């Protein structure tokens, strides 16, 4: 039975290995068949955080001194006025239902409250005991998400041809990492296109974007060992970004294939909607992967169940359901 847990101020190699063991065992049990994280990916996740956030980490130990459970709490920094926190709990399958998850959650809730956070969120697989675990601790379901996967070998032929379809008034632009200087400001402004995406009852802090923050985000992806790919629809009239899509792929992906890319946000500014730019952009990104990144075998993404439009776009591209999760939220005093 777990006997104690410890806050990690600076994770050691042993801490990272213990965290990796717990995380890998839990994922293999809960999401069989999906890729497991590498040791390097776990180390990066514990030591790298984006602007406006900081991490608090706890590792729980069993009677033999082995790691059996983890908690990663993402806290807002002083510059982040939203005061929203999120927590990720993981318990080794062999040590579940022994009270460690409850103790770690209690610790994380107390830490978030001490930082004057207003809400704490977490995400669990739909239809699993994790839902009742949270519900009995005053968390309420706030947003349901569908995760989807696309095997690049199964992309419909019509999708591969979509980038060649003219979109009068727009041109495609693409880059890796930070945007070119000529597009940096308008790309930052286009991030505002996410402000009206469905979020259910989940409280969200909308970031004020500028060119410098966009560049820092690209640098963060590089520090995480990821390549950040971007495609944008640029208005011919004024040269500004009307919409964009982006994804990441592992920087160290083996040439032999099998790598998984992660589709991130896609947004089109309200004034440019109704022209099919979202589908056009995402199909262009997929074409780019097929032509230029043979090491990538699949793309995964998640979309709010309320976002029917994007779910339909993904289905048209060939994405198929992978799993469903629920974001729960706790209102703090």
Specify whether 198 is located in the same domain as 65.
no
| Residue 30 burial (C-beta neighbours within 10 Å; 0-12, 13-18, 19+) | middle
Euclidean distance between CA atoms 229 and 66, whole angstroms: 39
For residue 257, is it within any domain? yes
Specify whether 272 is located in the same domain as 168.
yes
For residue 124, is it within any domain? no
Q: Contact 62/70 with Cβ under 8 angstroms?
A: no
Specify whether 89 is located in the same domain as 182.
no
**Which DSSP string do the residues of 256-302 spell out, in sequence order?**
TS-EEEEEEEEEE-GGGTTS-HHHHHHHHHHHHHHHH-TTEEEEEEE
Q: What is the CA angle 47-53-55, rounded to 5?
A: 40
Specify whether 95 is located in the same domain as 32.
yes
Give me the pLDDT at residue 97, please: 93
For residue 64, is it within any domain? yes
The 8-class DSSP code of residue 165 comes to S
Give me the pLDDT at residue 229, please: 97
Euclidean distance between CA atoms 63 and 103, whole angstroms: 16
Specify whether 27 is located in the same domain as 173.
no
What digits encode the pLDDT tens for the residues 233-242?
Answer: 999 999 999 9
What digits encode the pLDDT tens for the residues 258-287?
Answer: 899 999 999 999 999 999 999 999 999 999
- Beta-sheet strand order (sheet of 4-8): 4-8, 53-61, 67-76, 84-91, 119-125, 320-331, 140-151, 296-304, 259-268, 241-250, 226-235, 170-176
How remote is the C-alpha of 264 from its chain's centroid? 7
For residue 136, is it within any domain? no
Specify whether 10 is located in the same domain as 61.
yes
For residue 135, is it within any domain? no
Specify whether 302 is located in the same domain as 208.
yes
Give me the pLDDT at residue 80, please: 63
For residue 143, is it within any domain? no
For residue 123, is it within any domain? no
Domain count, the chain: 2
Give me the pLDDT at residue 172, please: 97
Q: Which helix (H) or strand (E) holds 141?
A: strand 140-151
| Two tokens, residue 309 | 């439009």
Specify whether 209 is located in the same domain as 93.
no
Helices marked H in the chain — which ranges? 13-30, 39-47, 100-114, 129-135, 157-161, 181-190, 211-223, 277-292, 308-317
Specify whether 84 is located in the same domain as 223.
no
Domain boundary among 96, 117, 138: 117
Give me the pLDDT at residue 249, please: 93
Specify whether 173 is located in the same domain as 86.
no
Give me the pLDDT at residue 44, please: 94
Closest CA to 306 of 322, 328, 326, 320: 326
For residue 142, is it within any domain? no
Domain boundary among 66, 95, 117: 117
Domain boundary among 97, 117, 137: 117
Euclidean distance between CA atoms 213 and 220, whole angstroms: 10
Specify whether 293 is located in the same domain as 157.
yes
Give me the pLDDT at residue 120, please: 97
Which segments of the chain have a pLDDT < 70?
1-3, 79-82, 253-257
Specify whether 106 is located in the same domain as 230.
no
- CATH no. for residue 32? 3.40.630.30
CA dihedral sign, ordered 289, 317, 196, 113: negative
Q: Which domain holds residue 295?
A: 149-324
Q: SS3 for 156? A: coil
Q: Which helix (H) or strand (E) holds 227?
A: strand 226-235
């Amino acid at each position: 039975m777990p006997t104690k847990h410890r806050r990690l101020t600076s994770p050691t190699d042993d801490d990272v290995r213990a965290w990796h063991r717990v995380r890998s065992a839990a994922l293999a049990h809960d999401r069989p068949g999906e890729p497991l994280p590498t040791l390097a990916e776990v180390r990066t996740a514990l030591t790298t955080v984006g602007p406006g956030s900081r991490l608090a980490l706890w590792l729980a130990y069993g009677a033999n001194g082995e790691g059996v459970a983890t908690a990663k709490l993402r806290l807002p920094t002083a510059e982040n006025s939203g005061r929203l926190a999120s927590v990720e709990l993981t318990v080794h399958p062999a040590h579940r239902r022994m009270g460690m998850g409850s103790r770690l959650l209690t610790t994380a809730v107390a830490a978030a409250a001490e930082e004057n956070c207003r809400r704490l969120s977490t995400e669990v697989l739909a239809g699993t005991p994790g839902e009742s675990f949270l519900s009995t601790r005053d968390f309420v379901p706030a947003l349901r998400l569908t995760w989807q996967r696309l095997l690049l070998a199964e992309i419909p032929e019509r999708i591969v041809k979509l980038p060649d379809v003219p979109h009068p008034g727009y041109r495609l632009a693409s880059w890796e990492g930070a945007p070119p200087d000529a597009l940096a400001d308008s790309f930052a402004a286009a991030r505002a296109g996410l402000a009206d995406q469905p979020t259910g009852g989940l409280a969200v802090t909308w970031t004020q974007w500028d060119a410098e923050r966009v560049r820092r985000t690209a640098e963060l992806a590089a520090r995480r060992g990821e390549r950040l790919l971007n495609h944008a629809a640029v208005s011919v009239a004024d040269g500004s970004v009307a919409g964009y899509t982006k994804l990441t792929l592992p920087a160290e992906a083996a040439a032999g294939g099998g790598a998984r890319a992660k589709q991130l946000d896609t947004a089109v500014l309200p004034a440019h909607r109704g022209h099919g730019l979202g589908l056009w952009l995402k199909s262009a990104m997929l074409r780019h992967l097929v032509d230029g990144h043979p090491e990538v075998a699949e793309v995964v993404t998640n979309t709010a169940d309320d976002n029917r439009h994007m779910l339909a776009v993904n289905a048209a591209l060939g994405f198929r359901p992978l799993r469903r999760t629920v974001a729960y939220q706790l209102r703090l005093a």
